A = this chain, B = another copy of it.
Amino acid sequence: MVATQKDIADKLGISVATVSRALGGYSDIAKSTQERVKEVAGEMGYHPNIAARRLQKQKADTIGFIIPTHGPRFADPFFTELLTGIGNEAAEQNYDLLVSTRAAGSGEMKIYQRMVSEQRVDGLLVVRTRQNDQRIRYLLKKNFPFVAFGRSDTNTDYPYLDVDSQWGIYQITQHLIDLGHEKLAYISAPEKLQFASHRLTGYKQALEKNNIPYNANLIFYGELTESSGYKLGHEILSKYNDVTAIIASNDLMALGTMNAAQELGYEIGEDIAITGFDDIPLASHAHPPLTTVQQPIYDIGRQICRMLIQILTNTPAGNNQILLKPQLIIRASSKNKKGGGF
C-alpha cells in the first residue's frame, strides 16, 4: 500500500490540507510544520498520486507524440534521434511523453481523437506534415495546443518549426551542377508529404538557374526507406545509363540507391554521384561517405517540444513559426563528373 497525504496527516494529527500545503511549498505555513511534514513524508515514502493531481488540476502534464510508422520494420534512425530530443526536453521540464506508433492512415486519426478528447495529453507534436493535413485541420478545429515539425499547404496559421529544405536541395543540386553533372535524377519523398514539394522545387530551381531543362521522367517517388531507394536505384540506372547524379530526398533512400549502384558495378563518387538529406549518423560512415543536407535532428526535437511547453504554460514564446537553414555537407559520394571537362 502506498502512503497518501491522509496517512501523513493522521500520523501527525493534522489535516490533509496542511499536508498538501506543506508539501506544495506554500508560504502560509509554519516552518516547523512544514519540516515535520516533509520528514514524515520521507519516512513513509510518500509520493504524490499523479492521477489524483491530474484530475484536480485538469492537466495531464503530458505531451503526445504520434509517430507515423510505415509497417513493422520501421527502423528510421531519424526518428530515434528526434524522439531523444523531444524526450530529453520533456523530461527536463517535468512533462511526461506519451508515444503512439501508428501507420499513417490506418486508424491514425482515431489516436489523435483519443488523445485530445479523453484528455490524455495537454498538447501534441505533429511530424511529417502532409498536404491538406487532416491532423492539423482537426487540431485547429478543436483548438487543441500543438506544434508541428513542418509547414503545411493550407495557409492556416499555426505554430511550427521547419527546415528550409527547398534551399537545402537547391544547394545540393547546385553543388552537383558545379561538379559538371547535367543529367540528374531525383528521388522524391511521397508526394503527399509537404516537404516533398519543397524539396522538388529546390531541385527545379537549381536546374532552371543553370539552364538545364527539367525532365519529368527523371523524377521518381520513393517511400523514404533503404529498400525503396534500392529499387529505384536499379530502375533509374537501368533506364538511363547517362544519368551521372542521383539526388535522394533522404539519407536512407540514398543509402539504398548506393547499394543498387554498387551492385551494378558503379563506383560511387567516380562513375556516379549520389546524395541524401538528413545527415543521420550513418551518412558519414557509408562507403563512400554520403554528401547530404544536415538537419539538426536532435535540436529540432528539443525545440518543438520546448515550443509546445511554452504554449501550454502561456510563456511568451516569441516567434512560433520558425524556419531553419540546413547545412550542405559535402563528402565523397559526390565528385567531379568523369570527363566532365574539369
Q: Which residues of A contact B (CB under 8 A)?
A: 2, 45, 47-52, 54-55, 58, 60, 67, 69, 72-81, 83-88, 91, 96-102, 111, 117-120, 225-227, 229-230, 252, 255-256, 258-259, 262, 280-282, 285-289, 297-298
Residues of B within 8 A of A77 (CB): 75-77, 80
CA distance A55 to B119 in the complex (A): 14
A73-B119 contact in complex given A51-B54, A287-B262, C-beta closer than 8 Å: no
CA distance A120 to B79 in the complex (A): 24
A285-B55 contact in complex given A76-B77, A99-B97, A118-B50, C-beta closer than 8 Å: no
Contact among B79, B102, B262, B285 for A227, CB-based, below 8 A: B285
Residues of B within 8 A of A119 (CB): 2, 47, 49-51
Residues of B within 8 A of A91 (CB): 100-102, 111
Contact among B81, B87, B102 for A100, CB-based, below 8 A: B87
CA distance A88 to B101 in the complex (A): 6
CA distance A48 to B119 in the complex (A): 9
Residues of B within 8 A of A288 (CB): 262
Chain copies in the assembly? 2
CA distance A326 to B297 in the complex (A): 33
CA distance A252 to B88 in the complex (A): 23
A-B contact pairs, 25 of them (CB 8 A): A50-B118, A51-B54, A52-B55, A67-B83, A72-B88, A73-B81, A74-B81, A75-B78, A75-B282, A77-B77, A77-B80, A79-B80, A83-B101, A84-B101, A87-B99, A87-B102, A88-B102, A91-B101, A97-B98, A98-B99, A226-B282, A255-B285, A256-B285, A259-B286, A287-B287
A99-B101 contact in complex given A51-B119, A259-B286, C-beta closer than 8 Å: no
Shortest 10 CB-CB distances between A and B: which pairs? A87-B101, A75-B77, A47-B117, A51-B54, A75-B81, A226-B285, A51-B55, A259-B285, A99-B99, A72-B298
CA distance A151 to B183 in the complex (A): 54
Q: Is the CB of B117 within 8 A of A45?
A: yes
Q: Is the CB of A67 within 8 A of B87?
A: yes
Residues of B within 8 A of A49 (CB): 55, 118-119
CA distance A219 to B99 in the complex (A): 39
Q: CB-nearest residue of chain B relative to A288? A: B262
Q: Is the CB of B84 within 8 A of A80?
A: no
Q: Is the CB of A69 within 8 A of B84?
A: yes
CA distance A118 to B258 in the complex (A): 49
Residues of B within 8 A of A60 (CB): 51
CA distance A226 to B77 in the complex (A): 12
CA distance A2 to B120 in the complex (A): 13
Q: Is the CB of B76 within 8 A of A80?
A: yes
Contact among B72, B76, B85, B256 for A72, CB-based, below 8 A: B85
